[in-house]
Structure 1
Amino acid sequence: MDPAVLREDMVDGLESPAKGVLADEDVAVAMRDVPRHEFVDDERTAYADREHEILGTRVLPPSIVARLFEALAIEDDDSVLIVGAGVGYTAAVAAELVDETDVHAVDIARPLVAEARTNLERAGYGGVLVDRRDGAEGLPEYAPFDRILVEAAAVDAPRALLEQLAPDGRLVFPRGSRRQRLVSISPNGVDREFGVVSFDPLLVDGEQSGAVERNRMAREDRERARRRAASRTGWEQEWIEWDDRVESN
């Protein structure tokens, strides 16, 4: 079947009362235009509302992507940073909403950076910058950003990302550990929630996708309270060795 027809059906489903996850017409138009099959190996299911796994990372279902962009509320001429580039699909949707040269994406995994670059170039979004970085560090040389999207869970927004927000900016991320809620934060601390979600944790530099023992989620609940006050650079970037004493607490 023609991919354009499949895209239309996909977005129509997201806009339907049964799902009701997509009300922003600009986002709807963007998702109708992005060739999702260029980012997903299985063309037969590329436009189904389901997740895929590629190179150890999840490709988010279209319904979750729609919810992320509803929370971001991207405006014309915004500069956008996406933490967790994955295969590049989310960055492509962002590039339909603003100039593609205003979209920046980072990922901690080198294979995914290469995959995202290849996919974006093939799909016609070669102007999107994709770099290999620890997501919690952001991309300071291109800051400030009007919108920052973190496609990984954390108990709190990394301090470096908050510092890279424009004065009227918005940071969207899944907040929590096992039970997460999608939230948006502005520089003045105003929060807004957008419902329950489930994302993988934000990894520490040097870890691989699928790590359990040493990711931020496994450690931060126990370490945050005692380390944050004394930390000079932010609890999200300073870690202690995971030993029996800590694990038994």
Structure 2
Amino acid sequence: MDEASLRADMIEGLEHQLGEPLGASVLTALQRVPRETFVDDSPYANAASDEAGTRVLAPATAVRLIAALDAAEGDDVLLVGAGVGYSAAMIAEIAGARHVHAVDIDREAVSLARSNLSEAGYDAVLVDRRDGANGLPEYAPYDRILLEAAVVEPPRALREQLDDGGRIVYPRGTTVQTVVAIEPDAAGEAGPDDDAPAGFRTVETAGPARLRPMLADGEQRDVERNRTRREDAERAAYGRLARHGWEQEWIDWDDRH
């Protein structure tokens, strides 16, 4: 069976799995983006959930997130968590590639997303290695911000980079997550049970998710987690002015003055 037929079968299965027809913009993006460029193993299989330890989202999860984002042509979008680049390509089909900015704390993920996006014809999407918690202030404000990582609430920097009429979509929670969309709450309409951060209100929930939590710098792969070995490497690289452990700060202070 050719790729177009497999893609059509995936879309039909998604509509059945989600229990509702797909929106026009999301449907068009699904039809146009060659998922096989981004996913090597069974790209059009409708996995029931996201596999732990992988950058590839189940198709249903990707659709829930992007549909909740509700982006339109010309919207400036920040994607936190570049993954394999598939979501960025989907959003590029909706908003326009030059309006999509993706960041990831993992250098390997950034390289992979760039390569996949280029091969699929979305070179204009910007992918940068950044700590997602800090966003990408150079291109702010954004009309839409999508987090492909689980958080209890979006980091303050991301909320501050959102345009006044914008929307943030993220998987809310830790082990148990729900895809939610929040918007600024200028009128104070958020109810007492709303788990949105202060100044925001939840405007949509879009079903369950199981994504990895947002990483802090130092938690990505190939970064030394052992504090002693890490600091020894820093001292070797930077000499006596390298940062030491807290227990030796008073010695450093005496030596430097």
Q: TM-score, normalised by structure 1?
A: 0.79
1:116 and 2:109 are equivalent in the alignment: no
Give the 3-state SS of the residue equivalent to 1:59 in structure 2.
coil
Q: 1:72 to 1:184 in 2, by over 3 A?
A: same
Q: 1:186 to 1:105 in 2, by over 3 A?
A: same
Count of aligned positions: 209
Aligned pairs for 1:118-157 within 5 A = 118-157=115-154
1:199 and 2:228 are equivalent in the alignment: no
List structure 1 segments (4+ residues) > 4 angstroms apart after TM superposition.
51-54
- The share of aligned pairs that are identical, in percent, is 53
Equivalent residue number for residue 86 of structure 1: 83
| Contact 1:22-1:67 at 8 Å conserved across structures | no
CA–CA distance in 2 between the matches of 1:147 and 1:57?
25
**CA deviation after TM superposition for structure 1 residue 193, in Å:** 2.1
CA–CA distance in 2 between the matches of 1:132 and 1:36?
23
CA–CA distance in 1 between the matches of 2:149 and 2:157?
15
Equivalent residue number for residue 8 of structure 2: 8
CA–CA distance in 1 between the matches of 2:64 and 2:118?
25
- The worse-fitting range, judged by mean Cα deviation, of 187-196 and 127-136 is 187-196
1:106 and 2:103 are equivalent in the alignment: yes
| Contact 2:150-2:170 at 8 Å conserved across structures | yes
Q: TM-score, normalised by structure 2?
A: 0.76
CA–CA distance in 2 between the matches of 1:128 and 1:156?
26
- The worse-fitting range, judged by mean Cα deviation, of 184-193 and 123-132 is 184-193
Equivalent residue number for residue 19 of structure 1: 18
Could you tell me which of 59, 64, 71 is aligned with 2:61?
A: 64
**CA deviation after TM superposition for structure 1 residue 15, in Å:** 2.0
| Contact 1:21-1:63 at 8 Å conserved across structures | no
1:168 and 2:165 are equivalent in the alignment: yes
| Contact 2:103-2:110 at 8 Å conserved across structures | yes
CA–CA distance in 1 between the matches of 2:105 and 2:54?
11
Give the 3-state SS of the residue equivalent to 2:103 in structure 1.
strand
CA–CA distance in 2 between the matches of 1:35 and 1:177?
31
Give the 3-state SS of the residue equivalent to 2:157 in structure 1.
helix
**CA deviation after TM superposition for structure 1 residue 21, in Å:** 5.3
**CA deviation after TM superposition for structure 1 residue 187, in Å:** 2.1
**CA deviation after TM superposition for structure 1 residue 26, in Å:** 1.2
**CA deviation after TM superposition for structure 1 residue 206, in Å:** 1.8
**CA deviation after TM superposition for structure 1 residue 68, in Å:** 0.7
The structure whose Rg is larger is: 2
| Contact 1:171-1:184 at 8 Å conserved across structures | yes
**CA deviation after TM superposition for structure 1 residue 195, in Å:** 2.3
**CA deviation after TM superposition for structure 1 residue 38, in Å:** 0.4
CA–CA distance in 2 between the matches of 1:5 and 1:153?
33
Q: 1:73 to 1:195 in 2, by over 3 A?
A: same
Which consecutive unaligned segments of at least 5 residues does structure 1 have?
Answer: 214-240, 242-249
| Contact 1:83-1:148 at 8 Å conserved across structures | yes
Q: C-alpha offsets along residues 148-199 of structure 1, whole Å, 9 cap, x if unaligned?
A: 0000011111000000001110000111112111111112212132222211
Give the 3-state SS of the residue equivalent to 1:93 in structure 2.
helix
Cα RMSD over matched residues? Answer: 2.2
| Contact 2:77-2:142 at 8 Å conserved across structures | yes
